[in-house]
Amino acid sequence: MLLRPQKTKFNKFRRSRLTRIESSFKPLKFGRFGLVAQECGLISARQIESTRQVINRYLKRKGKIWIRIFPDFPMTSKPTEVRMGKGKGAVKLWLCRVKKGKILFEVDGASDYIIEEAFSAAKKKLSLKSFILKASWRLNKKV
């Protein structure tokens, strides 16, 4: 089932730019491993769900997954072959605005090898670059 908000103050938003960094680095809160975004972008609810399914299949329901992002931004579009004007189109899909350095998913409760394998498969489902982070690692590089 796809994620979407139950209720919003406005049903259509204006688009904004995503250029800022989330932070230089934030530690993991829940799991031992995390998937961190390396660039800014938009992730749809379908991409979040397919990524979650891939991680679940690799873990075989033994580990715990925390999804740290939520699609709260509506993307509108008008139907094809419709003339200009007559207002903004209907909401087509829900997106999540992701900044560089944002932790997307966290996992715990399985072996290190299986979690790394699951995250490497899950990275292919996302539309932006990401890397795997372990809680015990100390990062000297910038995210």
pLDDT at position 136 is 77
- Can you name the CATH fold of 33-77+89-134? Aldehyde Oxidoreductase; domain 3 (3.90.1170)
Domain ranges of the chain: 33-77+89-134
pLDDT at position 2 is 83
pLDDT at position 22 is 61
Q: Which residues pair with 37 in a beta bridge?
A: 130
pLDDT at position 114 is 95
Residue 17 neighbours by CB under 8 Å, 6+ apart: none
Residue 9 neighbours by CB under 8 Å, 6+ apart: none
> With the C-alpha atoms ordered 10, 14, 15, 17, is the resulting torsion angle positive or negative?
negative
For residue 116, the tally of other CB atoms under 10 A from its CB is 15
For residue 107, the tally of other CB atoms under 10 A from its CB is 26
pLDDT tens for the chain, 143 residues: list them.
688 888 888 888 887 777 776 665 678 899 999 999 999 899 999 999 999 999 999 999 889 999 999 999 999 999 999 999 999 999 999 999 998 889 999 999 999 999 999 999 999 999 999 999 998 766 555 54
Alpha helices, DSSP H, located in the chain: 45-59, 112-122
pLDDT at position 121 is 96
- Maximum CA pair distance of the chain? 56
CA 6 to each of CA 70, 81, 124: distance values in angstroms, whole numbers, following the listed order: 12, 31, 29
